[in-house]
Structure 1
Amino acid sequence: MKNLACYTLIFWVCIYCTPKKQISSSEDSNIKSIIENEKLNILYRGLKNYLTIYVPNSDSIKVSGLGVYKEQKNKYYITPAAGASMEITIIKFSKGKEIVEKREFRIVNIDKSFASIENKIGKITLSKEELANSKIEYYIPQFVMKLGKVGKFRYQINAEEPMVNYGDEFNKSVKEKIYNMKSGDIMIIDNLNFNPELQNVDLKKVTELVIYIK
């Protein structure tokens, strides 16, 4: 399995319950669960949402739900479909007893993506040195997952022919062009590359970044 580098999302779901309590109904209010980071209690539509589920003092667990897939022990991912929320069921097996926990996640769509430098988007002003040593990244507002490194992007200096730069940093040739730019010159960056892990999200259609030279 390929990791999402800087763009992998991990949820920790810990289930604590009274050992002597056996339930057959998931609606029993005595069964509580703890999510370490409530901000991560969301799923992004169109992505594999990775999570780690751990249940203390259990012989085994079973996790089920629409779009829930197991990769290895305690490691799962969810690919949510339609709807604004979804529920997963976690069953703990311990000494012949079953304890059932229901957990609901909110499903959100991914907002428009932007080409960015240090999360700066739209039209920005930089010195030649700042631009030459910058890193090009995706930026999606209110998105908590890291999207990983940009593999390539397109840049255009003033009215010159657009060119492609491979990697998320400018290569030596492009840096030389940047240092030859003058105050008021413009560079436009767009067409960031597509990450195969995000197969259902078109990140090529990013909003361009326009940089003015100081």
Structure 2
Amino acid sequence: MKKLLLLLFTSLSFYAQSDSLSIQKPKLSVVGNDGMKVLYRGISNPISIAVNNALSYKISGDGVSQDLDGKYAIRPKSGNETKVLLEIQTTDSTTVVEEHVFRVKPLPLVSLLVNKKGCINGDCTIEIQKKELLNAEITVKLVDFLFDYNITVKGFRLYLTNSNGDTLASFDIQGNKIPQDIYNEIITNEKTSLIIIHKIAFDSDLNLSISKTPIIKIKTI
């Protein structure tokens, strides 16, 4: 009898523990940015949303917006993470609320390049042969940026300085290359010590602005 009672109590205990277990169901929705849970502060980050077994859904969260084409984006304002909530009306007429958490990063450092040579967010001096300056291409790069982007340089300022730092000549150039006439000015001005490029104008599909345009200084060799 004692053995039977012990067996009975053991069985009841086992089933009681099984009833208390919680099974986490897989989410109905996926919210992502190129498969990564990362957003950049200060720009509109496009996101994609996929929901299974849903009649409809609503999305909400800090900085969430929808354009005229129905595409969603998130523009985080502060903090190291942000949350997106999806309220889903399922096909069996139940309401499910799911939370998606994104890590928020600051915008990366900006690098200004001349023929793919340059520096990161600040003043630097690079050495370039004079002949390389003809049609030299000026580009802007976001360092270690995780997503695809396009930044097209539309214009820049170039000026020549002597060894004392005095300005010898200044040119506002349209486009992203040093043209023939400016190149001629550079190679004929014997007092030129440094060529300085700054005040970049550009177009970007990221809808961003650079508060402080980096400066690049060129020493010809």
TM-score w.r.t. length of structure 1:
0.68
Q: Is the 8 A contact 1:138 1:147 kept in 2?
A: no
Match of 1:116 among 109, 113, 118: 113
Q: How many Å apart are 1:211 and its aligned residue?
A: 1.7
Distance in 2, Cα, partners of 1:58 & 1:68: 20
Distance in 2, Cα, partners of 1:79 & 1:48: 5
Q: How many Å apart are 1:35 and its aligned residue?
A: 4.9
Q: Is the 8 A contact 1:128 1:181 kept in 2?
A: no
1:12-59 Cα deviation digits (max 9, x unpaired):
xxxxxxxxxxxxxxx955227485755x43222221222232335644
Distance in 1, Cα, partners of 2:109 & 2:33: 28
1:127-150 Cα deviation digits (max 9, x unpaired):
234332332122332223535212
Moved more, 89-98 or 147-156: 89-98
Matched pairs, number:
185
Structure 1 residue ranges without an equivalent (≥5): 1-26
Alignment of 1:68-79 (within 5 A): 68-72=64-68, 75-79=71-75
Q: Is the 8 A contact 2:150 2:205 kept in 1?
A: no
**Which fold has the larger relative contact order, with Cα–Cα distance below 8 Å and residues 6 or more apart in sequence?**
1
Q: How many Å apart are 1:99 and its aligned residue?
A: 4.4
SS at match of 2:67: strand
How large is the RMSD of aligned CA atoms in angstroms? 3.4
CA distance change for structure 1 residues 55 and 179 in 2, over 3 Å: closer, same or farther? Answer: farther
Distance in 2, Cα, partners of 1:81 & 1:41: 16
Alignment of 1:93-112 (within 5 A): 93-95=89-91, 96-112=93-109
Match of 1:48 among 24, 41, 44: 44
Structure 2 residue ranges without an equivalent (≥5): 1-22, 163-167
Q: Is the 8 A contact 1:125 1:213 kept in 2?
A: yes
Distance in 1, Cα, partners of 2:52 & 2:186: 56
> Deviating runs (4+, > 6 A) in structure 1?
196-200
Distance in 1, Cα, partners of 2:205 & 2:170: 27
Match of 1:191 in 2: 199
